[in-house]
Amino acid sequence: MKPRCTIISKPLSPSIYQRNSENKAIIPIEVIYTRPVASIEVKAVGVKIESPWISLELYYGRGSGTLELPSGWYSIKMKAMDKDKNIVEEDRIEKIGVGEVFITSGQSNSLNFGDTLTKSSDPRVLSWNPKINRWVNCEDPQPCDIGPEVDMGVGGSIWPTLGSLLAKELDIPIGFLATGWGGAGIAEFGKGTIKYERILNALNTIKETGARAVLWHQGETDAAFETTGEEYELLLKDLIYRSRRDSEMNIPWVIANAAYHPKAETNNEKVILQAQKNCCNGTDIILGPNTDELLGDNRITNSAHFTKKGLEEHGKLWFSTLKRIFFDS
């Protein structure tokens, strides 16, 4: 087999790009060629849509251009031609998506501490694996960035459930970048900490592809440790504003109303719940689901973590909240 001299180098397969308010995304295309060619053209092929061929700009072994595509899954086809329009080489990549992308963050209930491993049955739902810089099928435990396994968890999460519900409802690809940290209090996300760097790394990862929002679920540890409402509100707002400044990514944060911990006093939980509400402005910091209502058989005995039933119900709460905030017209 002859070595390929012309290949699509960008986007990588699979990829998910955040759709805009017009239900579209601009996909940057790059092709590398090491043989003489007169022109290179690319097109996108989806289930319902096929774009026209577009010509790339060629410059010293690289071709570049963009495709504007509506939401959905696509393959990208490329053909390199000589001066007589004869095709001299072709390439094709699969699973390029336009849909919804979310960064998930907080403490253990935003990550892998449920008692049952779950996975999405929908192939359009993906998780970002920062260790290999690649989107993978959304199944637990969710892949995470820097940090010890004990703080990332090896159990189940809510994201496969949420992703499946969103993909079915919206009929588009869904992507998650997990950045949580088990047991973390709000003060542990300060500038320069490994916990903050995990969030910042995710924000930098999606600079080109975009994201809908950061989904924040945290507060249980602060309820147990009796963090004051004033301190919690100050530190959470600082985290949000700092992350936007440092990443130059001004995307919304959706803040779960979450404080339940078996070792916390009810009044301390109420303090954290109110502080979370105080942080929200209804525009770019938005109040999310109240997950403290999921008690009883939704929780592991004497634990803040969720059972299989709880993970499913938790995912449903996030689904109904995000649908109301972003997708109900």
Do 107 and 12 sit in the same domain of this protein? no
Do 35 and 143 sit in the same domain of this protein? no
Do 176 and 37 sit in the same domain of this protein? no
Do 165 and 267 sit in the same domain of this protein? yes
Do 187 and 74 sit in the same domain of this protein? no
For residue 1, tell me if it sits in a domain. no
pTM of the model: 0.95
Q: In the Cβ-directed half-sphere of 292, how many Cα atoms lie within 13 Å?
A: 21
Do 269 and 212 sit in the same domain of this protein? yes
Burial tier of 301 (Cβ tally within 10 Å: 0-12, 13-18, 19+) = exposed
Give residue-wise pLDDT tens across range 237-279: 999 999 999 999 999 999 999 999 999 999 999 999 999 999 9
Q: What distance in Å separates the CA atoms of residue 149 and residue 93, rounded to the nearest whole number?
A: 33
Do 269 and 143 sit in the same domain of this protein? yes
Give residue-wise pLDDT tens across range 193-235: 999 999 999 999 999 999 999 999 999 999 999 999 999 999 9
For residue 43, tell me if it sits in a domain. yes
Q: Which of 97, 113, 145 is the last residue of a domain?
A: 97
Examine the pLDDT at 150 and tell me if it is beyond 60.
no
For residue 173, tell me if it sits in a domain. yes
Structure tokens at 163: 């992703």
Contact 161, 118 (CB under 8 A): yes
Q: What distance in Å separates the CA atoms of residue 54 and residue 37, rounded to the nearest whole number?
A: 16
Do 273 and 185 sit in the same domain of this protein? yes
For residue 51, tell me if it sits in a domain. yes
Amino acid at 229: G
Q: What distance in Å separates the CA atoms of residue 71 and residue 2, rounded to the nearest whole number?
A: 36
Do 207 and 83 sit in the same domain of this protein? no
Closest by CA position to 114, among listed 310, 297, 275, 320: 310
Cross-strand pairs, 91? 78
DSSP helix/strand/coil, 41 = strand
Which CATH number goes with the domain that contains 18? 2.60.40.10
For residue 120, tell me if it sits in a domain. yes
For residue 203, tell me if it sits in a domain. yes
Do 46 and 170 sit in the same domain of this protein? no
For residue 82, tell me if it sits in a domain. yes
Peptide linkage before 14 cis (omega within 30 of 0): yes
Domain count for the chain, please give it.
Answer: 2
Amino acid at 324: R
Instruction: Specify the pLDDT at position 48.
Output: 84
Do 44 and 175 sit in the same domain of this protein? no
Which CATH number goes with the domain that contains 182? 3.40.50.1110
Give residue-wise pLDDT tens across range 58-84: 998 999 999 999 999 999 999 999 999
Contact 95, 11 (CB under 8 A): no
Q: What distance in Å separates the CA atoms of residue 46 and residue 72, rounded to the nearest whole number?
A: 7
119 pLDDT tier (thresholds 50, 70, 90) = very high
Q: Which of 78, 97, 116 is the last residue of a domain?
A: 97
Cross-strand pairs, 117? none
Give residue-wise pLDDT tens across range 272-308: 999 999 999 999 999 999 999 999 999 999 999 999 9
| 298: containing domain | 100-327
Do 137 and 227 sit in the same domain of this protein? yes
Q: What distance in Å separates the CA atoms of residue 91 and residue 3, rounded to the nearest whole number?
A: 12
For residue 275, tell me if it sits in a domain. yes
What pairing do the DSSP bridges indicate for beta strands 174-178 and 285-290? unpaired
Q: Which of 41, 71, 97 is the last residue of a domain?
A: 97
Q: How far are the Cα atoms of 18, 143, 194, 219 from residue 131, in angstroms, in the given order? A: 22, 8, 15, 27
Closest by CA position to 65, among listed 90, 37, 96, 40: 40
